[in-house]
Structure 1
Amino acid sequence: MTSPLPLVRTIFDNLTTAVLVFDAQLRVQTINTAAENLLSTSVRKTQGQTPAEVLPLAPQFAEAVARALDSDHAFTEWGMELQLVDGKNLVVDCMITPLVDSNETRSSRVIVELVSTHMHSRIVREENLQSLHDTARESMRAVAHEVKNPLGGLRGAAQLLERELDDDGLKEYTRIIISEADRLRNLVDRMLGPNSKPYFEQLNIHEVLEYICSLMEAETDGAFTVERVYDPSLPEVSADREKLIQAILNIVRNAWQAAGPQGQVTLLTRPQRLFTIGQKVHKLVFRIEVIDDGPGIPPEIGAGAFYPLITGRADGTGLGLSIAQSLIHEHGGLIEYERRDGKTVFGISIPLE
């Protein structure tokens, strides 16, 4: 028979809600994995800390916990703003519940539950974006197929006409028609996106990133520079190497172009526990962040940057991010975009199960 304490701890750590347990002296007894992830801390670091020590830059949090203990009443504070030590800002719904033991008259523990409003908004936004993205891609596929049919006829007619012409000057025009028809066909093929199933194999994600860096160095004649912030504890991931390279390379190339020759590009890797993608909570995902200090996506484009043919660059095709999103989606993952501390951050999350 399973001992109840390990079972309770397992359940506690697999809750998606961040939970902190304080004793009667308002010192942390324990926190769960979701709280570690949300507050960017650890159970060992917070052990014995007061609310003010857990969140020194959020005095309203300590006041709320103390008020609940003093009043012996549970209450909820909606939309509480928290600032973490690392500078990250959170908006959470905070539920505080004092607990009274059977042999006590006053509360001996306080349970604090934190639910990030950002997470809920992200899930809703992600679902809406994925739905719109799928609709846009299906529409684009229908248009692409309609375009390819007359292109084939146009190219064939130009080839037949070229055979009948004796004038080299006129043949040059037919060669232009054939060349432009081929260019449009290639563009249509790119619009249709990848049509092969992914081939999954065990990969070292840092080896893949280093290969992408070498490609960028060759592509830019050595002008590409990058800061690496790797977490060596990341395990191998099951992924399609070629598709993963294509997706990440598109994002790294965009970052370098946005930052410019004097700009800074950073590659960051780290694991995340209990991460939600769509409606599914994954126990562990690996996250890659591509960070640049460029101006970011123009506000008028916003989340539409992931749609086909939407671009903020005059020389862009608007297919890079759309294709990258599709490739990462084939791995059960997602790509997110945000502006953080004046920098552009593209985060790629892929489940490690």
Structure 2
Amino acid sequence: MSESVITENLLDNLSTAVIVLDGELIVQYANHAAQSVFERSLNLLIGCSFNQFIATSSLDFERFQNSMEFGEVYSDSEVTFKFIDGRHTQADVSVTSILENQDKRLLVEIRLVEQQKKISQENHQWAQQRAARELVRGLAHEIKNPLGGIRGAAQLLAKQLPSEELQEFTQVIIEQSDRLTNLVDRLLGPNLRPSFDWHNVHKVLDKVYNLVRLDPSHNIAITRDYDPSIPDIYLDQDMMQQATLNIVRNSVQVLSENPETVGEIHVVTRIERQVIIHGACFPLCVKIQIIDNGPGIPTELKNTLFYPMVTSKKEGSGLGLSISQTLIGHHRGKIEVDSWPGRTEFTLYLPIEKKDPQT
């Protein structure tokens, strides 16, 4: 194996984004981590200006020129990037002048500040949410058993009562018992056995797209931006449809409660590399983003958003997102959320596994 191939393999396995620029700040090389940061493939990055995809940043580009001319090492911490697609992040940036075939180049290293914070926060929140779900499931079982007895007793009592007026009271008991039973069933989550197989994730998302698009109760625009290179993944179609539909409907409800905004929802798919999910690193994952232009998630709800019965919506039950996270967990995936006024992003990560040709 040649030295250049070994070097490229090493760079592509780094978690730090590495970009090589020429004197005009035109991209000459970008490793996999850099492609993930800019959400562009290598072919779409090479030949483009470094700041072409950046709407604003706190970088001092004059220091870039000084690094090129005088070999000065430039570094800046907690640089704020806002990309043209609306994403924003913070990163530590280092710029070093190098020689490549007698030509001066700039080696730019970008280390996302939020990455380690997210990993630690994710592990903490996952443990809390799992404990909350177990507590709710235990309570749900304790509630469901006596509910059956209450309903049965009301039915027997109704047969013994002489007048229809008195039977109206037992009917109320039966109806409310059924309502509580239905709520408890939803708290317990799906009880069907998963049916996993190899499927195109876009077919699942198209079903969600059509369900929401054809719903006459709203006029919110929903658009799709799919990466056609994503291979089939091992999933349960019904579970995935329910998980994504819950999130999209959540966005629809929030946008419907804010009619002063022209509601828009975007469903985007991409391939993400080197994703850490609950402590395990997956080389390749499908990244599904559901983005809306609503008012954002209230700060006080961000850390408990996936807990059962937590909601900020007037008509919400607080179960949709909790169920979605459980269903995505069955696929060894995870859900992340990033929100600020005017934009909320739910991001689903699903591992891409090698398909066994014998299955």
TM tier, smaller = 0.7 to 0.9
Task: List alignment gaps of at least 5 residues for structure 2.
Answer: 354-359
Measured in 2, the distance between the counterparts of 1:217 and 1:82 equals 33
Number of the residue aligned with 1:289:
289
Following TM superposition, by how much is the alpha carbon of 1:269 offset from its aligned partner in structure 2, in angstroms?
2.2
Does residue 183 of structure 2 align to residue 187 of structure 1?
A: yes
Task: Provide Cα deviations, 1:247-268, integer angstroms capped at 9, x if missing partner.
Answer: 1111111211222275222222
Partner of 1:320: 320
TM-score (norm 1): 0.84
Task: Please tell me the root mean square deviation across aligned C-alpha atoms, in Å.
Answer: 3.3
Cα deviation digits, residues 64-104 of structure 1 (max 9, x gap): 55555667676753212334455543321224456689xx9
Aligned in 2, Cα 1:109/1:341: closer, same or farther, shift over 3 Å? Answer: same
Aligned-pair CA distance for 1:210? 2.0
DSSP-derived class of the 2:29 partner: strand
| Aligned position for 2:332 | 332
Deviation, 1:235, is 2.1
Sort the Cα spacing of 1:320 and 1:58 in 2 relative to 1 into closer, same or farther, 3 A. Answer: closer
1:155-214 deviations in Å (ceiling 9; x for gaps): 222222223223222222222212211211111111111244422112222221221233
- Percent identity reads 36
Q: CA deviation at 1:314?
A: 2.9
1:149 aligns with 2:145: yes
Provide, for residues 209-237 of structure 1, a one-character-per-residue CA deviation record: whole Å limited to 9, x for no partner: 22123333555368564222233332222
Structure 1 residues 295 and 49 mapped into 2: Cα distance closer, same or farther (>3 Å)?
closer
Are the aligned partners of 1:259 and 1:265 in contact in 2 as well (CA < 8 Å)? no
What is the CA–CA distance in structure 2 between the aligned matches of 1:13 and 1:148, rounded to whole Å? Answer: 53
Judging changes above 3 Å, is the alpha-carbon distance between structure 1 residues 60 and 210 closer, same or farther for their aligned structure 2 residues?
Answer: closer
Secondary structure at the aligned position of 1:226 is classed as strand
Measured at CA, do residues 3 and 239 of structure 1 come closer, stay the same or move farther in structure 2, by a change above 3 Å?
same
Letter in 2 for 1:176: V
SS at match of 2:263: coil
- TM-score normalised according to structure 2 size: 0.82
Distance of aligned partners of 1:287 and 1:46 in 2 relative to their CA distance in 1, 3 Å threshold = closer
Matched, 1:15 2:33: no
SS in 2 for 1:306: coil
Structure 1 residue 34 displacement after superposition? 0.6
Distance 1:176 1:234, change over 3 A: same
Preserved CA contact (<8 Å) 1:46 1:54: no
**Uncovered stretches (5+) of structure 1, i.e. residues with no partner:** none
Q: Are 1:227 and 2:223 matched, yes or no?
A: yes
2:254 counterpart residue number: 258
**Are the aligned partners of 2:35 and 2:42 in contact in 1 as well (CA < 8 Å)?**
yes
Counterparts in 2 of 1:263 and 1:54: CA distance versus 1, 3 Å:
closer
* Match of residue 308 from structure 1: 308
SS at match of 2:195: coil
From the superposition, tell whether residues 340 and 236 of structure 1 become closer, same or farther in structure 2 (CA, over 3 Å). farther
